[in-house]
Each structure stands twice: as C-alpha cells, then as structure tokens.
Amino acid sequence: MEITAVRDKDGFEALTDEWNALVGRAATDTPFLRHEYLCAWWDTLGGGEWPHGDLWVLLGKEGDSLQAAAPLFMTAHENRASLMLLGSYEISDYLDLVAPAENLAPFVETLFDWLQGEGAPAWQALDLYNIPEASPTLQLVQAAALRRGWHVTRERLQPCPVVRLAGDWDAYLARLKKKQRHELRRKMRRAADSGHSVTWRIVGPGEDILAHTETFMGLMAYDEVKAGFLTSVMRSAMRRFILAAFENGWLQLVFLDVDGEPAAALLNFDYHNRIWVYNSGLNPKYLFLSPGWVLLGYLVQWAIEHGRSEIDFMRGDEDYKYRLGGETTHIYRLTVLKA
C-alpha cells in the first residue's frame, strides 16, 4: 500500500464516488465520514471552530484502487502543530480513519511510516478525536505508535447513549422503567387530548429544505446557549451539511406542529438502518404540551414501524436519553506525540 496526499479542495472533491464507496465498506461507517459531509465541514472549518487549516487527506492505494484513507488537516491545537481528523471535533460526533477492518492494520503501519518520511508535514501531534469505542483504530494506532517509541495517550470522552430497537412499540415500552413508560404514554396522550391540533411530519423530497432549515435554526435559537452557538459562520455550516444530507438521501428533519405552528424539531440522520439524533429545537410557548417528549415518542414509534435497529443519541449524557432506554457507549481521543 502506498500513500498519496491530497492537498487541495478540488482534489478532495473529485473523490466523491470512490470515497463514499470506501466509507460503505469501512469498519466505522457514519454520516460524519461521508464525502459530502466532510466537504461541507471543510468549507467553513467546522463553522469557524478552526481559524485556519491545511488539508492533508492521505489515501492508501494499491495501484489505482483506494484501500484506506486518513482525512486529515494540519492546524495549531494546544500549542502544537497537529494533524487532526476532518470534522474535529465539536460538531462531528463520530470520526475515524476510513478503511475496511482488514485494511486498517496495514494502512496504519504504512501511514506511520509515511509520517516519518520527508514528504510529511512538520507535525508534532496526531490528535484523533471522537473515535467510537468499537473501532479497531484505537488499538491499532496505539500499538503502532508505541512500537516506534512515540508517546500515546488514550482518553475517554463523552458518553453516546444508544437505544436498541426490537419488536413492536409495546415491546419497546415494556423495556423502559415503569415510571418512564407511564410518563411517556401520559405526555403523548395529553398532547393528543389537549384540544389543540398536534401533528408531526418529516420533511420530504421536493420540499424547500433551506426554508425548513431556517425554521429549525429559529427553534434552536430559543435556547440561549444554542443561540450563542449559532454564529453566522455556524449557520452557514449547518445550511451546507443539512443540504448535503438532504440531497444525498440521509437527512431526517422532523417537526411537531401545534395548531399549525412549529413547536419542536429534531435534526436527525436516517443512515444505515439507524436514526442518529443530532440536534433539536423547541418553542417555549408550547412547553405545557411537552412537545420535545411527544416528538421523541413519535420518532421512536416511526423508527420501530420502519424497521430501524437503533436510535443513536450521540454525544452527551442528558437524562432524557436514558429515560428513553439509552445504553451507554463512549467515544475516545488518541493523541500521538513524536519522541
């Protein structure tokens, strides 16, 4: 396997089809590794998270065949010249090297040899955030670094609760704690019997996704913390990757309407038989109807009825994720420093 470096946006954008085909075979296959997502992220460097960066997408090839990839960029992080994964790290919940499991070990060895060579940038740290706990990258990178006498640290980051779905709606409810089961049923029933028109909808093909995106961000901005997060650059970034997900068929943007007005919304990804819950918005005017809970209840019902295997709440230990049956998984950070 040989390493080829892609240094410019045009070169990276030209990889669309073979990149996504590689992601589809990779040990870690998440929406955040899709080509359209990473290109959208790079356009604004994560919504302004990074003031500057140099692209270093490293491809592992055998002849003309793409076998593996390290989607990296160089930036200053913690007073070091650091190679980091595209998507790092605040707005991309799961990141990783991109390779089938059988290609990862040879790719990591080839990659580390290349990083010691003359063609590599003058890096001080290889800093890999948000690696899922099930990824073989964790062990392979750690072992390869230690063999070279490099220093490596492994840090457990946030929990990522996942709800496993099996059976029907009643079977799901039966797995919840009794208190939570009754509470979810009560809130959904109360909304239905409130005398208000309470409906939910998934934004579908042919709809004005940009208008719906603005509505969603408007609901987000009712929350003071999220309003601060939604800078003009971050809004631009969200528009880009929401549009990219919509155009490529894995966006799930859902709204709960009360008397025709959006009361709550979820920005999800419907990808590989799993619902990935990414962000949410809520109009406090309708808190008396618990619209966030009601929308989550409808979402779980829909996911079960449509054969989805899991709902992944991704990063964060918010209580509601566990009250809905979430089981804890974690993401990790690997930091490799040259001796």
Do 2-158+331-337 and 162-312 fold alike per CATH? Answer: yes
Encode pLDDT of 300-334 as tens digits: 999 999 999 999 999 999 999 999 999 999 999 99
Which residue matches tokens 């990414």?
A: 278
Per-residue confidence at 339, pLDDT binned at 50, 70, 90?
Answer: confident
Are the C-beta atoms of residues 126 and 115 closer than 8 Å to each other? yes
pLDDT at 78: 96
Q: What's the pLDDT band for 87 if we cut at 50, 70, 90?
A: very high
- Residue 272 confidence class, pLDDT cut points 50, 70, 90: very high
Q: What are the extents of the domains in the chain?
A: 2-158+331-337, 162-312
Which of these, 22, 145, 31, 24, lies nearest to 95 by C-alpha position? 31
Taking alpha carbons only, the member of 282, 289, 241 closest to residue 263 is 282
* Across 264-286, average pLDDT: 98
**CATH 3.40.630.30, applies to 162-312:** yes
DSSP 8-class letter at 329:
-
Average pLDDT, the chain: 97
What topology is assigned to 2-158+331-337 in CATH? Answer: Aminopeptidase (3.40.630)
Give the per-residue pLDDT at 81. Answer: 97
Q: What percent of the chain has pLDDT over 70?
A: 100
Residue 177 pLDDT grade (very low, low, confident, very high; cuts 50, 70, 90): very high
Q: What is the pLDDT of residue 168?
A: 96
Q: What is the mean pLDDT of residues 212-218?
A: 98
Instruction: Name residues whose C-beta falls within 8 Å of residue 130's C-beta, 6 or more positions apart in sequence.
Output: 85, 87, 88, 89, 92, 93, 94, 95, 157, 315, 331, 332, 333
pLDDT in tens, 100-118: 999 999 999 999 999 999 9
Closest CA to 291 of 224, 169, 196: 196
Mean pLDDT of 20-47: 97
**Per-residue model confidence (pLDDT) at position 173:** 96
Amino acid at position 180, single letter: Q
Residue 251 clears pLDDT 90, i.e. is over it: yes
pLDDT band at 336 (very low <50, low <70, confident <90, very high): very high
